[in-house]
Amino acid sequence: MTFYSYNYLVHQNSNHTLIQLGIIGITILIIAVLSWLWYRHKTDLKYRDLFIIMVLLLLLLVGIQYNEWESLQNSFNQKSQVTQIMQRVAKEKGVKKTAVWSNTSSVSSGMLIKVQDHIYNVTVNTDGNSYTLTKATPIQSKINYVKEGE
């Protein structure tokens, strides 16, 4: 069983988005150079063909980036809801947020929250506006903890 710290869920980022944006930037630079070469050598069609290929590649990369951006937004919203529940549980139990752990990064009924030595089952109502905590006892005794930076 794996539990994630509050700081891990808040500060989790994705560096692959930056890499994809860098590739898009490089592709735009290549398109600019190819368009200049095509303009300069109008009779040489290889620059036009390369320009068209790079524009199609750019459109593909932008489409992929947009799809991933939507996915990351959804993931961020889910993590935000989990961290809000963790904040409320920490306040309710009178502990620091760093003492609260969650076994998932998305809100669902059946998620587990660990506060110090106690584990609680979280039941979220259908509209997602409230939750109920009930004590739970894990079957597995081995618990893995994922902290910030791991």
Q: pLDDT by residue (tens digit) across 15-56?
A: 667 787 888 889 999 999 888 888 888 888 888 888 899 899
Q: What is the DSSP letter of 37?
A: H
Domain count for the chain:
1
Residue 143 has pLDDT above 60, yes or no: yes
What is the value of pTM for the model shown?
0.62
β-bridge mates for residue 145, sequence order:
3
**Residue 138 sits in which domain range?**
2-146
Residues 1, 108: Cα–Cα separation, whole Å:
16
Res 132: pLDDT: 86
Res 53: pLDDT: 92
The stretch 129-138 carries a mean pLDDT of 85
Query: What is the sign of the dihedral through the CA atoms of 80, 81, 84 and 86?
Result: negative
